[in-house]
Amino acid sequence: MSIPFETQDWYRAFFRKAKWKLAFAWFPKQCFLSGKWFWLQLGYKGEAVWTGPGTPVFETRWLTKGEFLIAALKGQI
């Protein structure tokens, strides 16, 4: 994706609000930070719910285990 994490406020809003869990990717998923594709392996699935007037919106992003670890060590998650 090549967009610096620090310059995007909507990245930070999602990462603050998301609940992360380790999940198995049965189908191909793209890592949100690196853009790499992975499947048939474990990765972190982040889910955020945006509420307001009207129907709630569910947003899901996937990270590889390595990218999740790096983001957690940098304090982004």
CA 29 – CA 38 distance, rounded (Å): 6
Q: Which two tokens stand for residue 43?
A: 């990765």
Whole-number pLDDT of residue 17? 87
Per CATH, the architecture of 5-74 is what?
2-Layer Sandwich (3.30)
pLDDT tens digits, the chain, 77 residues: what are they? 455 555 566 677 888 889 999 999 999 999 998 899 999 999 999 999 999 899 999 999 999 999 999 989 988 88
Tell me what pLDDT residue 27 has. Answer: 96
pLDDT of residue 55: 93
* pLDDT of 12: 77
Q: Which residues pair with 30 in a beta bridge?
A: 37
What pLDDT score does 26 carry? 96
Mention every residue, 6+ apart, whose C-beta is less than 8 A from residue 61.
Answer: 14, 18, 32, 45, 46
Domain ranges of the chain: 5-74
